[in-house]
């Protein structure tokens, strides 16, 4: 009884719904049938268009798809795949299938999320924060995003309690740089860990301001009831001074609440 070898490429990404995200595995393999790319797995039109962008950019980089039918499956199939960030994981999965060489960083251990321009440039994901949190919650080694997502990812790593020292993230400008990282282990020139650390803003308190009974009551009602305030008065009467010190009465946000807001 003869058997045929089964070649498959696996890549991780996620689908976002508001502030929540679910891990998605992209399975890529060749199968019998007419030549072309077929995507399955409950995907939106925006996601489906990514296969053409990924194929075009990869062919421009010298990857040959050949005359074969390539099936790309998004698992789990019962969750809707929405977002502009599926281009990059599709491209990585296709490259892993047709490259015919081993990888240094297994795409099945990393989350990839970025839109592709036809020139190979990576464009930012609109759901970078929930995608990043999902990667950390599911124990992946790291995540790959577009360079334009670097600032919000860096801020997230400062406040997230899920951050592990072993978890890594990199932000790239172009697809060829991501491929060099996956196949050859080439990291971006600027290491995100060496970026300037996020420093929280210090809020002034009421130590240098006298409050009469009326203003004290207003401040307490604001802090306890979380009410909005409309301040009216002549210039120089202390409206801005009073308003700028009100946040000092509020409790510090927990990390998970900070991320949700």
Contact 47, 33 (CB under 8 A): no
Both 77 and 120 in one domain: the answer is yes
Residue 200 lies in a domain: no
Q: Is 33 left (phi over 0), alpha (psi -120 to 50) or beta?
A: left
Q: What is the pLDDT of residue 3?
A: 38
Q: What is the pLDDT of residue 2?
A: 38
Q: What is the pLDDT of residue 162?
A: 62
Mean pLDDT of the chain: 86
Q: What is the pLDDT of residue 5?
A: 42
Residue 100 lies in a domain: yes
Q: Is 41 left (phi over 0), alpha (psi -120 to 50) or beta?
A: left
Say whether pTM exceeds 0.85.
no
Contacts of 2 (CB under 8 A, 6+ apart): none
Both 185 and 241 in one domain: the answer is no
Number of domains present in the structure of the chain: 2
Q: What is the pLDDT of residue 163?
A: 65
Both 49 and 166 in one domain: the answer is yes
Residue 179 lies in a domain: yes
pLDDT under 50: residue ranges of the chain: 1-6, 192-194
Residue 2 lies in a domain: no
Express each pLDDT in 114-143 by its tens digit. Answer: 999 999 999 999 999 999 999 999 999 999
Q: What is the pLDDT of residue 202?
A: 77
Cα(55)–Cα(58) distance, integer angstroms: 5
Residue 224 lies in a domain: yes
- Cα distances from 254 to residues 163, 245, 259, in angstroms, run 15, 20, 9
Q: Which range of residues forms the domain containing residue 182?
A: 8-194
**Helices marked H in 68-212:** 87-98, 128-137, 150-159, 175-184
Both 181 and 223 in one domain: the answer is no
Contact 69, 30 (CB under 8 A): yes
Both 144 and 241 in one domain: the answer is no
Express each pLDDT in 26-59 by its tens digit. Answer: 999 988 777 788 899 998 888 889 899 999 999 9
């Amino acid at each position: 009884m003869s058997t045929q070898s089964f070649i498959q490429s696996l890549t991780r990404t996620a689908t976002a719904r508001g502030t929540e995200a679910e891990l998605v595995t992209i399975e890529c393999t060749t199968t019998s049938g007419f030549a072309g790319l077929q995507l399955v797995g409950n995907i939106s039109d925006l996601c489906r268009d990514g296969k053409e962008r990924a194929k075009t950019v990869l062919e421009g980089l010298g990857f040959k798809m050949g005359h074969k039918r390539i099936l790309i499956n998004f698992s789990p199939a019962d969750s809707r795949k929405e977002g502009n960030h599926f281009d990059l994981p599709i491209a990585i999965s296709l490259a892993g299938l047709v490259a015919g060489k081993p990888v240094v960083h297994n795409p099945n251990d990393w989350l990839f999320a970025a839109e592709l321009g036809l020139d190979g440039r990576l464009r930012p994901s609109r759901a970078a924060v929930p995608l990043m949190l999902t990667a950390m919650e599911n124990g992946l080694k790291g995540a790959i995003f577009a360079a334009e997502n670097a600032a919000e990812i860096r801020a997230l790593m400062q406040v997230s309690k899920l951050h592990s020292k072993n978890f890594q993230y990199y932000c790239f400008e172009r697809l060829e740089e991501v491929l060099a990282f996956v196949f050859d282990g080439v990291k971006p020139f600027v290491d995100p860990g060496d970026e300037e650390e996020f420093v929280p803003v210090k809020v002034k308190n009421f130590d240098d301001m006298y409050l009469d009974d009326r203003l004290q009551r207003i401040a307490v009602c604001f802090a306890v009831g979380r009410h909005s305030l409309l301040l009216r008065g002549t210039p120089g009467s202390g409206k801005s001074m009073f308003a700028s010190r009100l946040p000092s009465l509020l409790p510090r946000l927990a990390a998970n609440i900070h991320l949700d807001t």
